[in-house]
Amino acid sequence: TKNVQGYLAFLEMRLAGKDYLMGKIFTVADAYCFVVVNWTQWLGISLDEYKTLKAYLARILARPAVQKVYQEEGLQ
């Protein structure tokens, strides 16, 4: 998990002051990052110390298309 924590810290730093990885624009990189970072919940890795990353995930989760997928896949 040390490597994972390093990657999470890197994302936390890269997202500082941005809405998405590329700034204000949502890209496919954000969709992929969202999926991969969400795996932490099934691996028992806490995101509590990564406030910026958690806000980023919440922004993506709030997107209508993501909500639709979550509903269709029974993820909520």
What is the mean predicted confidence (pLDDT) over 48-74?
A: 95
pLDDT score of 75 more than 90? no
Confirm if 47 and 53 have CB atoms less than 8 A apart. yes
With 80 as the cut, is the pLDDT of residue 1 above it?
no
Write down the pTM of the prediction.
Answer: 0.90
Supply the pLDDT for residue 24.
Answer: 96
Contacts of 50 (CB under 8 A, 6+ apart): 8, 9, 11, 12
**How many other CB atoms are found less than 10 A from the CB of residue 39?**
10
Each residue of 23-58: pLDDT tens digit? Answer: 999 999 999 999 999 999 989 999 999 999 999 999
